[in-house]
Amino acid sequence: MGSATKPDRPGLIRRIAHLDMDAFYASVELLRYPQLKGLPVVIGGGRRREDDLLDRMRLLQPEREWTADHLSEIPVDVFPRLSGYVGRGVITTATYAARAFGVGSAMGVMKAAKLCPDAILLPVDFAQYRHYSRTFKDIVLDIAPLVEDRGVDEIYIDFTDVPGGQREGGRVLARLMQKTITDATGLTCSIGVAPNKLLAKMASEFNKPNGISIIYPDDLESKIWPLACRKINGIGPKADEKLRAQGIHTIGDLALKERDWLMQHFGQSHGAWLHDAAHGLDDRPVVTDSEPVSMSRETTFEKDLHVVHDRAALGEIFTRLCQQVAADLQRKGYVGKTIGIKLRFDDFQSVTRDHTLDHYTANPLEIRQVGGLCLKRVDMKRRLRLLGVRVGALVKVDSDEALHPTSHKPPSSKLTAQEPPAQKETCHEQADLF
């Protein structure tokens, strides 16, 4: 795939860009609240209504009007602080001023409140981030057609055949994108351009914020090998620990290892991948459209719940999660045939159970019924902190497969003896675990 499937055209070098919005969530918030610039701000925690701040201002200064146009005029001391937070949320993003206190993303908010109680706490506002995400992606799509989505603030772009994409190794096109995005949104981004996605991703981090880095094949030794193995997208904490145990700290250390040695210690597939990655090799194409594999909803409870004692509450939560997944599926036009549940116990241990049907569904009652059977297969020995519902093996609702499933399972008598429940019925009568 990728460069391998692309016929080599004389003069055209494969150039892949990775574009990463700089401190995306925090930057979007600062567009609305410029008065917070330079202050320790943390985004995450609970879900507050976005009008809360305006409501407080209406109380404090009833003589004047407070609408969404006046957000930038809200005094800094009116914003909620970390110290006032109660709950189990984690931090999504922290500004540099907040990071100076040791606060970082994925940290529990309560822990962060101890480190920096006076930091301002803003709720996450995905609707707002999605809006700016759409805006910058549309701008890039206008300039280059081959774009791969990597979440709300990241994309890969194939520069190879774009007019100007080869000039100065891609720098000219990258500059154009940066300027167009900043002019339209006030946000900055960093772009790396390299012969493949692996190197482009690393390059985009080199000059943050608002930077551009070009990596040529000759740069491998000087720019990539000195980096820590963790900088490779795909090497996480576990793999890094294993590598360290073998004395491998940098990508250069990794590149010194024989392919066979890596395959023996890390498995055929993973070992070969590690070897390729260390040598800057990556054939993956830029994938412009991909189908979802699964959709899920999960929630962590405010307090751990007991299967027996909190049965009613758990049942309601379970029903709501099923309704949400079903609504997600229906809104996006998908059906699935593998229904699964996920539990997390108070000791943070997680278990999953799933069941594959002989047909596809997006029916909330059927999802709840099958999910309920999955729940019964779990040994409930501890209190629960999380419950999730997942529907996998998705196909488009109007596809041939959805209408005529090619099932490899004999229909399970337990589940298909009766028709799937009609969608309008209620489902509180079922003798489920919850």
Part in contact with DNA (CB under 7 A); list of ranges 31-39, 147-155, 157-165, 244-252: 147-155
Residue 275 within binding range of DNA, rule CB under 7 A: no
DSSP three-state, residue 175: helix
Tokens read off for 352: 């999953």
Residue 46 within binding range of DNA, rule CB under 7 A: no
Residue positions counted in the chain: 434
Minimum distance between the CB of residue 394 and DNA, rounded to whole angstroms?
8
Part in contact with DNA (CB under 7 A); list of ranges 5-13, 136-144, 172-180, 345-353: 345-353
Residue 327 within binding range of DNA, rule CB under 7 A: no
Residue 311 within binding range of DNA, rule CB under 7 A: no
Residue 292 within binding range of DNA, rule CB under 7 A: yes
User: Judged by CB under 7 A, which of 184, 308, 313, 351 binds DNA?
Assistant: 351
Strands of the sheet with 41-44, listed across from one edge:
91-94, 41-44, 120-122
Tokens read off for 278: 């260390």
Q: Which one of the listed residues 29, 50, 73, 154 is annotated catalytic?
A: 154
User: Judged by CB under 7 A, which of 70, 167, 377, 428 binds DNA?
Assistant: 377
Cβ contacts of residue 416 below 8 Å, gap of 6+?
357, 358, 359
DSSP state of 90: B
Q: Could you count the other beta carbons within 10 Å of the beta carbon of residue 110?
A: 15
Any alpha helices (H) in 251-396, and if so which ranges? 251-256, 259-266, 268-278, 311-332, 364-376
Pick 352 or 423: Cβ nearer DNA:
352
Residue 411 within binding range of DNA, rule CB under 7 A: no
| Beta strands per DSSP E along 64-208 | 91-94, 120-122, 147-149, 154-158, 189-194
| Beta strands per DSSP E along 55-152 | 91-94, 120-122, 147-149
Query: Which DSSP helix (H) or strand (E) runs through 202?
Result: helix 197-203
- Is 154 a catalytic site residue? yes
Minimum distance between the CB of residue 177 and DNA, rounded to whole angstroms?
18
Residue 389: what are its φ and ψ, rounded to 5°? Answer: -130, 135
Minimum distance between the CB of residue 148 and DNA, rounded to whole angstroms?
11
- Beta strand 154-158 with 147-149 is antiparallel
Mask: binding to DNA, 162-191, rule CB under 7 A, as x and -? ------------------------------
Minimum distance between the CB of residue 248 and DNA, rounded to whole angstroms?
13
Minimum distance between the CB of residue 59 and DNA, rounded to whole angstroms?
26
Token pair 């108070």 is found at 346
Active-site residue set = 154
Residues that bind DNA (CB under 7 A): 86, 88-90, 92, 106, 108, 110-111, 113-115, 150-154, 201, 232-240, 267-270, 290, 292-300, 328, 338, 340, 347-348, 350-356, 374, 377, 385-386, 388, 393, 407-409
